[in-house]
């Protein structure tokens, strides 16, 4: 738990609950904390992310855990692809995030901003409903940006969603081989 005497402006940070998204968000949180901001990290408890380790390594932050809203049955579906899972997360997490934001804003009048992962697009509407400014952290590099730019083409050509395990090694003729 964050030190009690600190009363600076508070920032809420909400990473996508995957390691490659949590780590950059925590690095940003450390930088902002060193500049005098109080930090609350909102963690969606899912996808095998252990919040206990995170809490132990960052005692200078306050943590607020919410449900992702995705049932265990939905999480274990073999045929669900990553894009569908992210879409489901963006749909099912809304009420849990809204409730958490309502609680946090009512408890602390020093909250000045929400910083959320770029994949969590639902956070904009929720932050707007509380008149809370929102910034987006894009945790991926340029290569991931190129992949996201190619997704519409891959869907139009029926490469996505994947049509089964046998298609994993198929060449995509729309892209150059090199």
- pLDDT on residue 3: 52
pLDDT at 104: 98
Residue 25, preceding peptide bond in cis (omega within 30° of 0): no
pLDDT of res. 2 = 52
Specify the pLDDT at position 110: 96
Task: Please give, one letter per residue, the 3-state secondary structure of the chain.
Answer: CCCCCCCCCEEEEECCCCHHHHHHHHHHHHHHHHCCCEEEEEEEECCCCCHHHHHHHCCCCEEEEEECCCCHHHHCCCCCCHHHHHHHHHHHCHHHHHHHHHHHHHHCCCEEEEEEECCCCHHHHHHHHCCCCEEEECCCCHHHHHHHHHHHHHHHCCCCCCCCHHHCCCCCCCCCCC
pLDDT along the chain (178 residues), means of 10: 65 92 95 97 74 84 93 75 86 97 97 97 98 94 81 83 70 67
Domain-wise residue ranges, the chain: 10-140, 141-178
Long-range contacts of 58-62 (CB under 8 A, 24+ apart): 58/26, 58/29, 58/30, 59/1, 59/2, 60/2, 60/3, 60/33, 61/2, 61/29, 61/33, 62/1, 62/2, 62/38
Q: What pLDDT, on a 0 to 100 scale, did the predictor assign at position 175? A: 67
Give the pLDDT score at 41: 97
- Which pLDDT score is estimated for 22? 92
**Which CATH homologous superfamily contains domain 10-140?**
Glycogen Phosphorylase B; (3.40.50.2000)
Q: What is the pLDDT of residue 50?
A: 59
pLDDT computed for residue 129 by the predictor: 98
Q: Whose structure tokens read 């073999």?
A: 78
């Amino acid at each position: 738990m964050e030190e009690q005497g600190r009363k600076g402006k508070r920032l809420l940070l909400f990473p996508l609950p995957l390691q490659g998204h949590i780590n950059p968000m925590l690095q940003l949180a450390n930088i902002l904390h060193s500049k005098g901001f109080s930090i609350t990290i909102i963690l969606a408890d899912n996808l095998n992310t252990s919040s206990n380790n995170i809490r132990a390594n960052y005692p200078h932050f306050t943590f607020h855990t919410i449900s992702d809203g995705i049932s265990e049955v939905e999480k274990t579906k073999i045929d669900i692809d990553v894009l569908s899972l992210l879409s489901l997360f963006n749909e099912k997490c809304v009420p849990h995030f809204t409730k958490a934001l309502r609680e946090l804003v009512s408890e602390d009048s020093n909250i000045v901003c929400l910083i959320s992962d770029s994949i969590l697009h639902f956070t904009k509407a929720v932050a707007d409903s509380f008149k809370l400014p929102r910034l987006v952290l894009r945790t991926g590099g340029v290569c991931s940006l190129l992949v996201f730019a190619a997704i519409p083409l891959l869907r139009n050509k029926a490469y996505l969603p994947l049509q089964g395990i046998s298609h994993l090694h198929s060449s995509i003729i729309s892209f150059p081989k090199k």
